Structure 1
């Protein structure tokens, strides 16, 4: 156990006295302080003050809607849900044991079932003008077509070289697959617009903001609870799925069948509508990491580290191929909501 470094036990006692507690011993796990007191064991977490009100508002809204699988946030003696100390806001929760007893992957299945339930209980229709939808579509489409032109022009520059650099040679090898991924994203974006261009509302939910098994903890009974709602906001439901998939698929080549099953579990409890599916697959398939890597290489002429650039391009290609597999599996099996 790592001892506290940026807050002393004296600092922590000054904070927890607002809750009527006295810290007898303090340990640290990542960004969370584990506080042993005569009244039990608690978790103390720091949050940026500007995120504090939104965080509490979303948590309270979920409780009011009947969603209670959230690690409780305790009010201080004066009723506030956070204590401001040295320019940062701290909030207090119970410490959950988080003991995992099931087979590998089962925690992910439980987490995605709970995420679907969270979204189901917080769903609402949000007004969006037809004009704003059209502007977003046209701006996104224009930007993606511009990137498609850039990729083609960079390919031509590479092919004009008498002796290609290692990066250029690798890029030419990956170009067709990258271009196909971008074309798929564009088709899905066009599908979304055709499906939704007459709609004046869009379905939104309270998204967690950063789902992870590290933020899904078990209590003594083995029930799972979400924690770390600091990035929570109202958005389209798949905005919880995209960052998770982005982190998970950023790896060596693999089939990622477990990942497909987890997301299908979510879809089975909270199906996406047709337009939501199209936009989700458009964003998921979009090869942004490769495009950004090529743009950086192009912009840094004369200051390039060739070996690092080649390694980064290879990694982003693997991620694109992992994503391609997941997109193909999900797009064949995701049922739309009625």
Structure 2
């Protein structure tokens, strides 16, 4: 009975919110991730609430609307109220309305990563001059983030201790303990790198832009013509390499080769050049073993929600990715600065509609690729798993200890 009443109350709220958008829904239904699908008789819209403050959401929408209006095609425009607002405040939440595009399941994600990273670079470049007047909202690395990373590193050590005290070690345990030393050393490098960054630069990056903050395959949708970045609720004014690092870690359904990852960085730089200090900061963020950490947390702290076979296959893939990223980190850290390149870049001028359209033609062409080969759930897990000995850093004789965080200030 209570559930039915809650459902009626929710629908009543939806109708009141839609009314402020001068929108009378003829049909509404709960979509994925608590997004409501509403139909006006001609087309479907996505109605979403966010806990983001009204002033922050207004700033995000103002920047994204300007970029969209300049000709950038990979954003969905928000429907506006009669007062020309892009959201409605109701009962302590902000609601906004965009055209509905059906999200694809993660296993069906088949976008061209080159098109995505090029689009991301263009977005960052166009947003950069638009955030220059909002220095009070810029984000910088602080001790809180370093302490949080240290806590995560300690958690990985706790998992290792649990495994070592077991009489019987599962196949996942064996793979995990075989690689934990490298994961721990990379984590240490990432933490020391951030500490050095705070010491040398006060945690302030060379430049700022609007970062999505939560890039993930589930936050990219597409229709028959185009793909779109969605869900900017967590967007922040931060260094562009924060977004780029997240992209390179999370959009790795097939690019596990360091040369391919390096190529994606070069594609990004073809639209938005990175300074030497930004490349070092990118190396630090890429050293953060997020994917191994998340999987270990899921395996050891949560009720078993995957089979042992699936867990081992996922861990092997994430460790393979970690080694590939490790190779890229070494390249970024030791790269010599290009002639005439400085540690800080000047804001670029706003792109015209023609320039934006021309630049994005490369990003949108061929955005869809063949689906990656799926790993079958029936993949056999045996005691003879040899990933520990087989997966070595591609540059033999080098280790993460060769990467000195003290080099952070070297240009």
TM-score range, shorter chain: 0.5 to 0.7
Q: Deviations over 1:41-70 (max 9, x none)?
A: 242322234444312212213444665533
SS of 1:76 mapped into structure 2: coil
Given the alignment, which residue of 82, 87, 101 partners 1:82? Answer: 87
Which residue of 1 is the match for residue 279 of structure 2? 277
Partner residue in 2 for 1:229: 232
Q: C-alpha separation between the residues in 2 aligned to 1:229 and 1:118?
A: 13
CA shift at 1:327, angstroms? 4.0
Going from structure 1 to structure 2, the CA distance change for 1:200 and 1:43 (only over 3 Å counts) comes to: closer
Corresponding residue of 2:318: 319
Higher RCO (CA < 8 A, seq sep 6+): 2
Return closer, same or farther for 1:59/1:146 CA change in 2, 3 Å cut-off. Answer: closer
TM-score (norm 1): 0.66
Please give the secondary structure, in 1, of the residue aligned with 2:320: helix
**2:207 alignment partner, SS class:** strand
Asked if structure 1 preserves the Cα contact closer than 8 Å seen for 2:245 and 2:286, the reply is yes
**Count of paired positions:** 315
Contact kept, 8 Å, 1:210 with 1:231, in 2: the verdict is yes
Residue 240 (structure 1) aligned with residue 208 (structure 2)? no
Kept in 2: contact 1:216–1:225 (CA 8 A): yes
Q: Is the 8 A contact 2:286 2:329 kept in 1?
A: no
Q: C-alpha displacement at 1:33, in angstroms?
A: 2.7
In the alignment, structure 1 segments of 5+ residues that lack a partner are none
The answer to whether the Cα contact below 8 Å between 1:46 and 1:91 also exists between their aligned partners in 2 is: yes
RMSD: 5.1
In structure 1, the residue matched to 2:99 is 94
Structure 1 residues 37 and 58 mapped into 2: Cα distance closer, same or farther (>3 Å)? same
How far apart are 1:191 and its partner, in Å? 7.9
Question: Could you tell me how far 1:203 is from its partner in structure 2?
Answer: 0.8
Give 1 or 2: higher strand fraction. 1
CA deviation profile, 1:75-110 (whole Å, cap 9, x unmatched): 2224433233454332112335789xxx9433x333
Q: What is the distance in 2 between the residues matched to 1:330 and 1:234? A: 24
Where does the alignment leave 5 or more consecutive residues of structure 2 unmatched? 1-5, 343-411
Q: Distance in 2 between matches of 1:115 and 1:105?
A: 13
TM-score, normalised on structure 2? Answer: 0.56
8 A Cα contact 1:178 1:287, kept in partner: yes
User: Take 1:314 and 1:225, find their aligned partners in 2: how far apart are those partners?
Assistant: 30
